[in-house]
């Protein structure tokens, strides 16, 4: 299968030598055995993932410390996260783009008089007009106040990031990439000092829905990382916004990512 790239703890910056490794190595992930989807599997299997040559982005990464992307990140994973998370938008002003962490910190600092809960969630859809699959990841700020131990909400502010990749026809793979995208964003925020109140999963606990087969695996992943997790039929702020946005986005203008 080949070697994996050097871990983040051993690499301080993404220099020229590290950049070359992007094209020679693949990151390795463990597949998940889920009843109904993979009935014949008896354990986790290491699988290589791919990295698309975004040369203009890789050049910008040379001066960034790998630790910026969280402990344990490989250079390939760091590049994927950077590309996915680079530009975010507000639902109120979709033309203005900004970086995630500076915006979140600035928003929280400007609203210190309120108690704000941060939610992260992702929704996906196989696009009917294009041979692609679209993803929308949302960070939702639930604004409110505490009174006698109870939280009273006053509204929700959302920001989002969209990307599309070649169509994923396998339901498990498509939905699991929602989990991966949400995890990247949540870990980026937490490693930057932002408390994520809850992870929203766009999966339904009702057994009649196909997504119910991923609930146990996804919740186990996030709870193991120390997050609170919610899924349908619970109230979901981030994935509800993502579901609304995914039908409004002009996907023709969104560049295709090979990740």
CA distance 235 to 237: 7
Q: DSSP string covering 209-240, please?
A: SGGGGGHHHHHHHHHHTT--EEEETS--HHHH
- Looking at the fold, whether 77 and 94 belong to one and the same domain comes out as no
Residue 2 falls within a domain, yes or no? no
Choose the final residue of a domain: 84, 115, 138: 84
Q: Which long-range contacts (CB under 8 A, 24 or more apart) does 88-95 make?
A: 88/139, 88/159, 88/160, 88/161, 89/159, 89/160, 89/161, 90/157, 90/158, 90/159, 91/158, 91/159, 91/160, 91/241, 91/245
Burial class (CB in 10 A: 0-12, 13-18, 19+), 187: buried
Choose the final residue of a domain: 68, 84, 100: 84
Choose the final residue of a domain: 23, 53, 84: 84
- Looking at the fold, whether 162 and 226 belong to one and the same domain comes out as yes
Residue range(s) defining the domain that contains residue 42: 8-84
pTM to 2 decimals? 0.69
Residue 3 falls within a domain, yes or no? no
Look at residue 40 in the predicted model and tell me its pLDDT. Answer: 52
Q: Looking at the 3D structure of the chain, how many domains does it have?
A: 2
Question: Measuring CA to CA, how many Å separate 77 from each of 16, 39, 100, 192?
Answer: 17, 29, 17, 17
Per residue of the chain (259 residues), give pLDDT as tens.
444 443 333 333 344 444 444 334 445 455 555 555 555 554 444 544 444 444 444 444 444 444 444 444 455 555 555 555 678 998 888 888 999 999 999 999 999 888 899 999 999 998 887 789 999 999 999 988 777 777 766 788 999 999 989 999 888 899 999 999 999 999 999 999 999 999 999 898 888 788 888 888 999 999 999 999 998 887 788 999 999 999 999 888 888 887 6
CA distance 160 to 137: 6
- Looking at the fold, whether 79 and 106 belong to one and the same domain comes out as no
- Looking at the fold, whether 80 and 108 belong to one and the same domain comes out as no
- Looking at the fold, whether 31 and 108 belong to one and the same domain comes out as no
- Looking at the fold, whether 44 and 147 belong to one and the same domain comes out as no
């Amino acid at each position: 299968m080949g070697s994996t790239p050097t871990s983040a703890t051993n690499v301080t910056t993404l220099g020229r030598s590290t950049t070359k490794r992007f094209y020679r190595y693949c990151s390795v992930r463990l597949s998940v055995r889920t009843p109904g989807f993979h009935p014949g599997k008896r354990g986790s299997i290491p699988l290589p993932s791919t990295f698309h040559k975004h040369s203009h982005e890789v050049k910008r990464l040379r001066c960034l410390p790998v630790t910026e992307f969280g402990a344990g990140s490989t250079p390939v994973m760091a590049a994927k996260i950077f590309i996915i998370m680079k530009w975010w938008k507000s639902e109120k002003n979709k033309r203005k783009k900004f970086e995630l962490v500076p915006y979140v910190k600035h928003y929280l600092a400007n609203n210190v008089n309120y108690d704000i809960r941060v939610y992260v969630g992702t929704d996906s859809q196989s696009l009917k007009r294009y041979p692609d699959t679209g993803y929308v990841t949302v960070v939702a700020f639930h604004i409110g106040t505490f009174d006698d131990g109870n939280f009273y909400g006053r509204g929700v502010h959302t920001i989002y990031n969209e990307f599309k990749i070649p169509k994923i026809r396998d339901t498990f793979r498509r939905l699991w990439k929602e989990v991966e995208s949400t995890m990247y964003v949540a870990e980026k925020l937490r490693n930057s000092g932002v408390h994520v109140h809850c992870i929203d999963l766009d999966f339904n606990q009702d057994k009649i829905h196909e997504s119910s087969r991923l609930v146990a695996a996804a919740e186990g992943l996030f709870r193991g990382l120390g997050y609170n997790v919610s899924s349908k039929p619970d109230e979901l702020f981030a994935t509800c916004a993502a579901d609304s946005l995914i039908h409004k986005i002009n996907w023709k203008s969104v560049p295709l990512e090979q990740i």
